[in-house]
Amino acid sequence: MRAYFFDNLPGDQRLPHDSSRSVDAETLNKIKVEFWHIPVEGHEAKLDEIAKERGYRNRDVITVSKEGLGGEYEEKIKAFYKEHIHEDEEIRYILSGGGFFDVRQAPTDEWIRIAVSSGDLLVIPAGIYHRFTVDERNMSRTTRLFKDEPKWSAIYRGDESDTNPHRINYLKSIAVAA
């Protein structure tokens, strides 16, 4: 996993968009983004431990690729890349391939790009603005963890998301006035 500020230049979302301004673990910690690297071989025990510790009872595996999603591929990667929040934290473990999670740093509202690949586990807190895209390999096979039934429910950025209790609680948790 590698984190840096997004360059905000136009171009394919699947490109690195590296501003050459690195982001350290302390900065990610301040915005409540957590991460681990767990080798894929034998990862199940560690993933089970983290799921139990965080109260996650369900999981699934999603393959985001042209082959896996067929005609829905372009539509899906555009939907995942549209800025949004969730009411639950988002936990993703990359089995193969890779991609980029972009998270908004509060209060600056700058994008931080987190490059993930096989073995990376990322926890994105409820209420943080973020988005996802595959990288140039156009494939990410990912285990998703869920507290309840597997679902992906996004609240896209706007008035509804800005006043969402999970967004407000997130801002309070990082000591930013809502």
The one-letter code for the residue type at 136 is: E
Determine if residue 86 is labeled as part of a ligand binding site.
yes
Determine if residue 130 is labeled as part of a ligand binding site.
yes
* Chain centroid to CA 132: 6
Determine if residue 43 is labeled as part of a ligand binding site.
no
Determine if residue 90 is labeled as part of a ligand binding site.
yes
Which positions ≥6 away from 138 have C-beta within 8 Å?
A: 14, 65, 66
Residues tagged in the binding site annotation for Fe(2+) = 84, 86, 90, 130
Residues tagged in the binding site annotation = 84, 86, 90, 130
Residues tagged in the binding site annotation for Ni(2+) = 84, 86, 90, 130
